[in-house]
Copies of this chain bind each other. A is one copy, B any other.
Amino acid sequence: MFPTLQITVKGLLPTASYSFMVDFSCIDNKRYRYSFHQSKWVVAGPSDAELPSRLHVHGDSPALGDHWMKQVIAFDEIKLTNNQLDQNGHVIVNSMHRYQPNIHIIVTDSNNDYICKNTYVFPETTFMAVTAYQNHRVTELKIESNPFSKGFRECEIEEIQALAGFRFPFSPLLKNYFL
């Protein structure tokens, strides 16, 4: 899942135990398709049948409030799949449906038994699940922003940097500019 869902938290009890979890809810009961003509997503019918969302538990859970508060909490281990039979623990979603990630903060006692939870929802994190990008500008945005997509960047300076193996303007070997 890129970009990565990440949050910072304040106000936890430093020595209390918390677990952080994320699930995904289908935002409406609709299936979408992308209208190339209108350059936007349009409703294509009612939503497909959906299994209850799998809960993704942040790998640091359970941990003390102190731990969660001292750095950005990144849910960079979340993987999505459209395979309803998935055995890898990935979160199952329906392609062409809109989703909203929900962040749950669970408070547990020293035995990690449940005490209570709060749920936080950030509407700006909604997204459309797809198996292929429908809009080239989204592709471009991802290529520009994801380090693993550097091989697809067209920006000239980036290409030369990749060939040269170093960053301007610090060149250990000037001749490498023209490989």
Contact = CB atoms under 8 A, between A and B. Distances in A.
Contacts of A15: 110-112
Interface string A97-117: 000000000000111100000
A17 B15 CA distance: 13
A154 to B, nearest CB: 30
Chain copies in complex: 2
A64 B108 CA distance: 13
A109 B17 CA distance: 12
Interface string A27-57: 0000000000000000000000000000000
B17 A64 contact: no
A64 B112 CA distance: 9
A20 to B, nearest CB: 16
Nearest to A110: B110
